[in-house]
Amino acid sequence: MNVKKLTIGLVCSLIMSIQPTFATVITAETTHISGNTWESNYTITNDTLAVDLEWFTIYFPSGLYTNLVDVSTPDISSDWDIWVNQPDDPFVGADGWFDALAWPGFGLAPGASLTNFIIRFDYLGTGTQIVQDFEVYDAADVNEPFALPIDSGQFETSAVAASAPDSLLLTLFSLMVFGALRKSRSSKL
């Protein structure tokens, strides 16, 4: 066996093992509000080993989303600066985005999760499976015009197409109509 190749392989493995590992997990529970309007409540989990998560972006593809509105809870808004850009904005680009930057000292610690980043939007797609892209950036690069992501990925939301009260009312209404039709037929006989 070649000692030189073995030594290079061990050195490369050692160098790769001491680099910070970035692993961000984003999930969302998406609820139907009315018509085309939906609301997603995002949960961010920092699965890194030693780095606070202080800046992330979630993308809303053009042609599928319009009317993005931040409705995050006040506890989120007080610790994070949040920006929302509409899809097809001619000054920024085609996709819309939700951008969150932590105030100094309020980043998401390794192993921690944070929820209640909430965006309301009109969804123009079909079906209830919504897939979105995200990127995580180093907050030290916030003033850089072309900051490079340190982590990125995709996630699927768990969409709730219809609420239980709406389904219950529809069922009750159907039973009332069925009963009325049955009664009118029996009175004609």
Note whether residue 118 is domain-resident: yes
Q: Which pLDDT does position 75 carry in this prediction?
A: 83
Domain count, the chain: 1
Tell me which long-range contacts 17-23 makes (C-beta under 8 A, separation of at least 24). 20/48, 20/49, 20/50, 20/51, 21/48, 21/49, 22/48, 22/51, 22/136, 22/150, 22/151, 23/47, 23/48, 23/151
If one compares 180 and 128, the residue with the highest pLDDT of the two is 128
Confidence check: pLDDT of 80 > 70:
yes
Containing H/E element for 177? helix 164-188
- State the number of CA atoms in the 13 A half-sphere of 137 facing the CB: 18
- pLDDT band at 19, cuts 50/70/90? very low
Note whether residue 42 is domain-resident: yes
CATH assignment at residue 182:
2.60.40.2230
Residues 6+ away with beta carbon under 8 Å from 44 = 24, 25, 26, 53, 56, 108, 113, 114, 115, 117
Among 131, 150, 180, smallest CA distance to 28 is for 131
Coil, helix or strand at residue 106:
coil
Note whether residue 110 is domain-resident: yes
Note whether residue 11 is domain-resident: no
Q: Which pLDDT does position 63 carry in this prediction?
A: 83
**Structure tokens given for 16:** 């790769």
User: pTM (2 decimals)?
Assistant: 0.69
Domain that residue 113 falls in = 22-188
Note whether residue 88 is domain-resident: yes
- pLDDT band at 166, cuts 50/70/90? very low
- pLDDT band at 103, cuts 50/70/90? confident
What is the end-to-end Cα distance of the chain in Å, rounded? 97
Note whether residue 16 is domain-resident: no
Least confident of 34-38, 60-64, 172-176: 172-176
Tell me the average pLDDT across 99-117: 89
Note whether residue 7 is domain-resident: no
The span from the CA of 134 to the CA of 76, in Å, is: 19
